[in-house]
Amino acid sequence: MALKGFLIQRALNMAAILLITVLLTMAILGPSADAILKRAIEQETRTEILQNKELVGKFKDPGELEDYVKSQVQGRISSMGLNDPWYSPKRLWTIAIRVMTLDFGQSYYIRGYGGSSNVRDIILESLPRTVLLFGTATLLTAILGILIGAAAAKRAGSLLDKIVMGYAAISNSFPLWWIGMLAILLFSYTLRIFPARATPPIPPADPAYPAALLYHMALPLLTMVSMGFGGWAYMVRNLMVGMLQEDYIMVARAKGVPEGRILYGHALRSAAPPIVTMMALALSGSFGGAMITEAVFDWPGLGRLYWEAIGLLDVPVIVGLTYVSTLVFLLSVFMADILYGILDPRIRIG
Amino acid sequence: MGGLEVEGLRAYYFPADRPPIRAVDGVSFELKGGSSIGFVGESGCGKSTLGLALLRLLPSPGRIVSGAVRLDGVDLMGLTEGEFGRSIRWRRISMVFQGAMNALSPVYTIGHQLSEPLIYRLGLSKGEARRLSIEALEEVGLGGDLMDRYPHELSGGMRQRVMIAMALALRPEILIADEPTTALDVIVQAQILNLLKDLRERLGISIMLLTHDLGVISEIADAIAVMYAGEIVELGPSDLIYSSPKHPYTKGLMAAAPRIRGGSKIASIPGHPPDLGNPPKGCRFGPRCSAAIPACERPPPMVELGAGHSVRCWLYG
């Protein structure tokens, strides 16, 4: 019963946050996007009409032609639903409802690989690629970081501990995009081991595509993992050094529980909630916030799509991407909450 | 069974940049099978270190420097860590740790934690371990329904009972109880002490009680060892220590214990315990002692007063 109430409350909470996100995105993009879009429509219509010599020939008076152009422009603007100002409740409400049901409409300029202008299709094309690269990278980073951090915590003060801590400080101080560029320079141009561009030069329909994608993925993956695990190890190490001093660890040792079980059972599980939070935030953050990394490695994922859409001010794509990344974020936090309960009974609900 | 002899035990901590901390500095005592001894002293006097040293559980950078520990006449110091872990720790000497709140892991069920020593030390199956764990719970006055509960769902007194059940799971001969009643309210304190007394009678275990609370000691202990700054300053049968304390520190402790009809102020001992990294050259209590004489500049010997009563003080030597 309590669990049901909890779920309902969380669902309502999430819906409210998503609605606010959509409205805020519209408020930020609305005014300028409307003006730019209207000008683009006018330009396009005018060019279309003026290039049609036959149509132009029908008008004797330039004024009449101008009126015709204006009426055509107006017709297109109203057919696209741009007559009302962006802040009119009718437009906002329609957009909010559509966006929240994952209908993001047609993009202005950006096209998918198959030429589709449906924003949902475009996003769904990029999403798996981002999940593939960043999901894998985050998981590998976290697992490596947890294992190394736990090992360092067990031997706090040892040479291994000092090396791990030093590496964490150094690797965390370098921006990933800069290391990425150096890695491309070294591995692609000097050593010629990995391709410089992460986008395979063959169409996605090609049967060789998956293998090519994995090969192209190697360099960004290695760069991200090697730069990322230090920070994780540092955090896990510090959490676990505290846990390992708890009385119940000494009791477990006295009872004869093997060291590995003490480290990865008793100590790591008590430290789990902050680690799971980090993991959830890192996973969801990497999906939306990897713009620069994807741009450096030219990885055809959500980050690069975001980057393009912002450059072109392609509002439906920006709104769609913002919505999807917010959704991913909320779902990860929700899953983290559920996981807490499983890992730490003190937080369990109901 | 369960006779423990400790002779000249020294357990120091070795911090990297300071002189060693002599937390237990030449402690000798004897615990006869089935009897009980209470160690009393203020925090930092070395009682917990003594308990941990006997179980070889000293946290780094602590270690045993010298001394002899014999269990039923067998020297324990000669055992390797592996042998000690397999055959002595928790199996023959076990411990109820200080702080009922922190001694149980928050993320495992009571049943899981009770089963651990049975599984890892005796190699029992999960089913057998569970059955014995339920018996252990019943023995300390709890129900088997607690098996699937978590420590945070239990009261402080229940947790301490679980801890005692866990310590007794392998049927040890000696139970070291470190502040078993601290942080519990008076009624629960009394219940836990009665439980310990009852267990001692039923199971015939020897109990070594470490506490700062003279009242707790008087409930259980046949003998009392008063500890100050890493040393035993007075040792003897509890009725003798209560009726005629000899060491000025013991007298001070007695005077500092509150009494219901005591009236006026509670007496306190002026000053602070010494830094165990750099204790006084002579009597360690000397600087705080109101009865100090010139001889106290030198370390006092342990003086036998007869009837098993001895005191480390120049006033009697």
pLDDT digits (tens, 9 = 90+) for A300-331: 888 889 888 988 888 889 888 989 888 888 88
**Which of A155, A162, A241, A255 should one mutate to test binding to chain B, selecting the residue with the greatest count of B CBs within 10 A?**
A255
| Residue B215 within a domain | yes
Let me know whether B147 and B185 are in one domain. Answer: no
B121 with A256: Cβ contact below 8 A: yes
- In chain A, residues with a C-beta closer than 8 Å to the C-beta of B59 are 245, 250
Q: Taking all residues of chain A, what is their mean pLDDT, rounded to a whole number?
A: 85
Per-residue pLDDT, averaged over B258-286, amounts to 82
Looking at the complex, report in whole angstroms how far the Cα of residue A251 sits from the nearest Cα belonging to chain B.
6
Q: Helix, strand, or coil here: A205?
A: coil
Q: Examine residue A316 and say whether the peptide bond preceding it is cis (omega within 30 degrees of 0).
A: no
Q: What is the least distance, in Å, from the CA of A3 to any CA of chain B? A: 18
Instruction: Show which of B152, B171, B190 is a domain's final residue.
Output: B171
Contact A163, A233 (CB under 8 A): no
Cβ contacts of B102 on chain A, cutoff 8 Å: 246-248
Residue A104 has a pLDDT of: 84
B166: in domain: yes
Task: Specify the number of domains making up chain B.
Answer: 2
Q: Is the dihedral of CA B142, A252, A231, A134 positive or negative?
A: negative
- The domain boundary residue, chosen from B112, B144, B171: B171
Do residue B71 and residue B213 come from a single domain? Answer: yes
CB B119 within 8 A of CB B129: yes
> For residue B166, which residues of chain A lie inside 8 Å, CB to CB?
251, 255
pLDDT at position B54 is 95
**A350 near B CB under 8 A:** no
A255–B166 CB contact, under 8 Å: yes
Tell which A residues from 40 to 99 touch B, by Cβ distance under 8 Å: none
Give the pLDDT of residue A328: 85
Residues of chain B whose beta carbon is less than 8 angstroms from a beta carbon of chain A are 55, 57, 59, 85, 89-90, 94-95, 97-99, 102-109, 116-117, 120-121, 150, 152, 163, 166
B197 and B61 housed in the same domain:
yes
Reported as a pLDDT band with limits 50, 70 and 90, residue B50 is very high
**B101 has pLDDT over 70:** no
Residue B97 lies in a domain: no
B111: pLDDT strictly greater than 80 = yes
Domain membership flag for residue B21: yes
The alpha-carbon gap from A239 to the nearest alpha carbon of chain B, in Å, equals: 16
Pairing of strands B223-228, B231-237: antiparallel
Mean pLDDT of B173-202: 89
| Segments in chain A forming alpha helices (H) | 2-51, 53-57, 62-79, 89-100, 119-130, 136-154, 159-173, 176-183, 209-243, 247-255, 259-261, 268-270, 272-288, 291-297, 302-312, 315-343
pLDDT tens by residue, A258-305: 988 999 888 988 888 888 888 888 887 777 657 888 888 888 888 889
Measure the CA–CA gap between B249 and B255, rounded to whole angstroms.
10
Q: Are strands B62-71 and B74-75 parallel, antiparallel or unpaired?
A: antiparallel
Which residues constitute the domain of residue B167? Answer: 102-171
Residue B1: the pLDDT is 65
CA closest to A251 among chain B residues? B103
In a domain, B282, yes or no: yes
Task: Note whether A256 contacts B90, CB cutoff 8 Å.
Answer: yes
Do A256 and B89 lie within an 8 Å CB cutoff?
Answer: yes
Distance from CA of B45 to the nearest CA of A (A): 19
Q: What residues contact B105, with CB distance under 8 A and at least 6 apart? A: A248, A251, A252, A266, A270, B113, B151
Length of chain A counted residue by residue: 350
Percent of all residues in chain A with a pLDDT value above 70, rounded to a whole number: 98
B231 found inside a domain: yes
- Residue B36 pairs in a beta bridge with B207
| Contact criterion met (CB < 8 Å) for B121 and A251 | no
In a domain, B125, yes or no: yes
**Among partner residues B57, B85, B106, which is closest to A250 by beta-carbon distance?**
B57
What pLDDT does residue A114 have? 76
**B83, B98, B105, B176: best to mutate for the A interface, most A CBs within 10 A:** B105
pLDDT digit string, tens, across residues A173-232:
988 889 999 999 999 899 988 888 777 777 777 888 888 888 888 999 999 999 999 999
In a domain, B146, yes or no: yes
- pTM here? 0.77
Counting Cβ atoms within 10 Å, is residue A43 exposed (0-12), middle (13-18) or buried (19+)?
exposed
In chain B, the residue whose alpha carbon lies closest to the alpha carbon of A245 is B59
pLDDT at A269: 86
Cβ contacts of B96 within 8 Å, gap of 6 or more: B103, B160, B163, B164, B167, B175, B176, B177, B178, B180
- CA-to-CA separations, A53 to A46, A59, A71, A254, A255, in angstroms, rounded: 12, 10, 18, 95, 94
Residues contacting residue B158 through CB under 8 Å, at least 6 positions apart: B142, B146
CB contact under 8 A, B107 and A344: yes
Instruction: Show residues of chain A in contact with B163, CB under 8 Å.
Output: 251
pLDDT(B100) > 80: no
Q: Model confidence over A226-260: pLDDT tens digits?
A: 999 999 999 999 999 988 888 899 899 999 899 88
| The pLDDT of residue A229 | 93
Same structural domain, B135 and B188: no
A245 Cα to chain B: minimum distance (Å): 9
Among chain B residues, the shortest Cα distance to A268 is held by B107
Identify all chain B residues contacting A257, using CB atoms and an 8 Å cutoff: 116, 120
Instruction: Report whether pLDDT(A59) > 80.
Output: no
Q: Note whether B48 and B76 are same-domain residues.
A: yes
Is A252 in CB contact (< 8 Å) with chain B? yes
- Say whether B166 and A251 touch across the interface (CB within 8 A): yes
Residues B160, B217, single domain; the answer is: no
Res B64 pLDDT > 80: yes
Q: What is the domain-level CATH number for residue B50? A: 3.40.50.300
Contact B116 A266 (CB under 8 A): no
Joined tokens for residue B173: 């001969």
pLDDT for the residue numbered B14: 93
Same domain, B164 and B44: no
Which of A245, A246, A253 has the CB atom closest to B57's CB atom? A253
For residue B312, give the 3-state DSSP assignment.
Answer: strand
pLDDT at B286 over 60: yes
Identify the weakest region by mean pLDDT among A110-114, B95-99, B107-111, B259-263. Answer: B259-263
Whether B140 and B240 share a structural domain: no
| Segment B248-271, tens digit of pLDDT | 999 988 888 777 666 667 778 888
Q: What percent of chain B has pLDDT over 90?
A: 57
* Least Cα separation, residue A250 to chain B (angstroms): 8
| Inter-chain residue contact A256 with B116, CB threshold 8 Å | yes
Domain identity same for B179 and B302: yes
Q: How far is A328 from chain B (nearest CA, A)?
A: 29
Per-residue confidence band for A51, with pLDDT thresholds at 50, 70 and 90: confident
Residue A76 has pLDDT above 60, yes or no: yes
Beta-carbon separation of A345 and B90 below 8 A: no
Q: Are residues B260 and B153 in the same domain?
A: no
Q: Answer yes or no: do B147 and B88 share one domain.
A: no
Rounded to the nearest integer, the mean pLDDT of chain B is: 90
**Which of B171, B198, B218 marks a domain boundary?**
B171
Nearest partner of B50 among B241, B276, B307, B315, judged by Cα? B276
Nearest 10 degrees: Cα torsion A10, A11, A12, A17: 90
| pLDDT value of position A67 | 83
Question: Cβ–Cβ of A255/B59 closer than 8 Å?
Answer: no
Q: Is the pLDDT of residue A350 over 60?
A: no
b (16+ CB within 10 A) / e for A289-322: bbbbbbbbbebbbbbbbbeebeeebbbbbbbbbb
Q: Are residues B19 and B67 in the same domain?
A: yes
- Per-residue pLDDT at A1 exceeds 80: no
A332 pLDDT higher than 60: yes
**Interface residue A154 vs chain B (CB under 8 A):** no
